Amino acid sequence: MKIAVIGCGYVAEFYAKTLGNHPELELIGAYDRNDRNLQAFCRRWSIPGYTSLERLADDPSLELILNLTNPRSHYEITRKCLEAGKHVYSEKPLAMNASGARELVELARRKNVCLASAPCSVLSETAQALRQALRDGVIGKVRLIYANFDDGMIAPKLSPWTWTNESGVPWPAKDEFEVGCTYSTSNACRRSSCSGNRFDSA
């Protein structure tokens, strides 16, 4: 499957590094509105850069898009890619609110394409078995869901606003702390079915 990255920031490096574990995926290009980040990413991974989001979305050879943009751009970027008939895997959150996430899921269904969102652990065999057990009523009616975010107080002790990846791109501390992971993770569970086909993460 031919894939492309939109958003060549901090996390894109880690996605590209793990592609070797998935020989069925071929990275064929990338796009970022930040030209410096785009050029650095494309040089590092020896791929061409698209000159616009529209050119990327219109590429008929491209099947799957990884949306690694900042959280506030996720909804718009994913919507444009789905409308172009592309499968999409988005970093969390899928959208900045639940209604936006539901709109994307419905759009993916109408377009008959796959839509998934980080964290990819939700797609694991264990999580999917639990999801099915809940749907089948095997473990009874859920009456309470509790979510907690504790990342060991990484700030200010570890100064995450100074972190950079191997390409020198900084970690988006502002986005991470403002948006937060607890809501992001719960929002990520809203995804489309893919006509019975499992959609595995990259």
Q: Which residues of 31-50 are buried (b: 16+ CB within 10 A; e: fewer)?
A: bbeeeebbebbbeebebebb
What DSSP designation does 138 have? T
Please, how many CA atoms are within 13 Å of residue 192, restricted to the half-sphere of its CB?
23
Please tell me the predicted confidence (pLDDT) of residue 171: 86
**Structural domains in the chain?**
1-202 (3.40.50.720)
Query: What is the per-residue pLDDT for 181?
Result: 62
What pLDDT shows up at residue 168? 87
Look at residue 180 in the predicted model and tell me its pLDDT: 64
- Max distance between CA atoms of the chain, in angstroms, equals 53
Taking the model in full, what pTM does it have? 0.80
* CA gap 180, 172 in Å, rounded: 12
The pLDDT, as a whole number, for residue 151 is 62
Burial pattern 67-80, b for ≥16 Cβ within 10 A else e, equals bbbebebbbebbbb
Q: What is the pLDDT of residues 28-43, one digit of tens each?
A: 999 999 999 999 999 9
**Strand ranges in 60-188 using DSSP code E only, listed in sequence order:** 64-67, 87-90, 115-117
Amino acid type, 36: R
Q: Which token pair is 171?
A: 């970690």
pLDDT < 70 stretches in the chain: 147-156, 180-202
